[in-house]
Structure formats: structure tokens, C-alpha cells
Copies of this chain bind each other. A is one copy, B any other.
Amino acid sequence: MTTMELLQAVSAGELTPAQAQLQLKLQPYEDLGFAKLDHHRALRQKACEVIYGAGKTAAQITAIANAMAAHGDENILITRLAPEKAEQLELSAPFWYDETARLGIVNRTQRQSAAGTIAVICAGTSDIPVCEEAALTAETLGNPVVRLYDVGVAGLHRLLSKLDLIMSANVIIAVAGMEGALASVVGGLVDCPVIAVPTSVGYGASFGGVSALLSMLSSCASGVSVVNIDNGFGAGFLASRINHMGEKA
């Protein structure tokens, strides 16, 4: 019931003022224009509600995930979930776990809702866990994903030989540690949005991802934006939002 309908019901005597006030309390944001927000929350619950696993006990995660599953939620993502903790979960619904990405999914469905492709690319094998967190998040949110994991800029021919795949993507997630040059090189080759993810891979003056982060922020290529260090989930989530833009119209 919208605020207008509610007010009409009061006017018609169908609701007492006190009943109406209670209603306004229960849907408190609607008359501020929050209807869209509600709608959006509903949408998100259909897709996936995310549980950050690192700061919670197995018991807490179990409780939250089971409550969500009881509401019929699907594709409930649990990020940063250590394998030991994953084993301790006592879930009432089907559970899928990927050890590389340290990502768990409750009530996983595998429906594609977007037409375009998201390419997840990185240079070295050490970046793969962050890549997989991004790729699996994007897939869970309904996107076709292409993975290119052997394309560091220090061996440019590897990157160039995959240009077709890179250039046909709708959104690109460029994951890199060390000096983070991949984002700039890719950003200069393509005409789609590039989401750069610095990783904490590297040693010495890599400073746990800071060098890659600064490098990506300073990129001379246009069309590149950056998320937090190692934030594969954030990149996958944002890439999915962008990739569903075409579906909106």
C-alpha cells in the first residue's frame, strides 16, 4: 500500500488515524521516496545477500544463512570464508564452496540474467584467488564470465594473443599486484569500462598492494576505476551492475 492509498483509506474511514500511523511506522521510508529502495532491497534479496565471513564465527554464519534460506533466498554469498570454518557450518540448504576464492554459496542457482560478457584477467598465478572471488561473484549474479589468467605485461605477446577475447567483453576486471601495469595497458586497448583490482601480491616496495593501488589510480588510460586492495567481491559486484545496464532499458 502506497502513502497515497493509505491516506485515501483514512479519508474513506477504512483506517483510523492510529492504524495509519502504525502503517507508516512499519514502512517508514516510503513517503520519503524510499519505495525504490525497498524495491531494490527485494531485488537484491532475490539475487544474493552477502555475508562477510572473515569477522564472524561459524555459528553466526550458520544462523544468518539459515535464516535467509528460510526466507527462500537464493545465491547467498559468504565471502572470505576459510576452509576450516566452511566445514563447521551446519546449513539447512544446499551449500557450494570454492577453496581458491574462499567463497561459499548457499542455494546456488546458475541462471544467466545478462547477455554481455565480463572478462576477468590477471598476470600471475598468485592473483588467481582474487580473480576467482571476482569471477564467481559475477557468475552468481547472472553474468557470463571469461577468465584470462596468463597475460602479464612483462610478456606482452601473451596479452596481445588474447586481444579478441578482451575486446569482445562488456566489462573488464583487471587484477594485478606488483606494479599493477596491467590496468593501464588493458585500459588503453579497450573501449569498455575497466575495473582495476590491486592485489597484495608482491614483496619489498609493493607494500601489500599500495604500489599497485597508486599505479592504477594514476593510470594514464581513461575508462579505468579502482576498488580496494584484494576486493574481488567488490569488483565482481560492480561489474555485474554495469553489465546489467543494457537490460534496464
Spell out A's residues near B (CB within 8 Å). Answer: 3-4, 7-8, 10-11, 13, 16-18, 20-21, 24, 28-29, 31-34, 36-37, 40, 43-44, 50, 52, 54-56, 60, 115-116, 123-126, 152-157, 160-161, 163-164, 167-168, 170, 178-181, 184-185, 187-193, 195, 198, 200-207, 209-231, 233-235, 237-238, 241-243, 245-246, 248-249
> Given A181-B185, A245-B246 in contact, is the A218-B238 Cβ separation under 8 Å?
no
> Given A17-B4, A191-B241, A228-B203 in contact, is the A160-B32 Cβ separation under 8 Å?
yes
Q: Are A21 and B4 in contact (CB under 8 A)?
A: yes
- The quantity of this chain's copies bound in the complex is 8
Pairs A–B under 8 Å by Cβ, sample size 18: A10-B11, A11-B13, A24-B31, A28-B31, A28-B32, A29-B157, A33-B164, A44-B191, A152-B188, A170-B248, A179-B184, A181-B181, A211-B215, A211-B217, A217-B227, A222-B237, A225-B227, A226-B227
Chain A at the B interface: mostly helix, strand, loop or mixed?
helix
Q: Are B223 and A225 in contact (CB under 8 A)?
A: no
**Of B11, B50, B185, which contacts A17 at CB under 8 A?**
B11
Q: Are A205 and B228 in contact (CB under 8 A)?
A: yes
Contacts of A226 in B (CB 8 A): 217, 225-227
Nearest residue, chain B, Cβ from A226: B226
> Given A187-B154, A205-B229 in contact, is the A33-B163 Cβ separation under 8 Å?
yes
**Of B7, B187, B229, which contacts A10 at CB under 8 A?**
B7
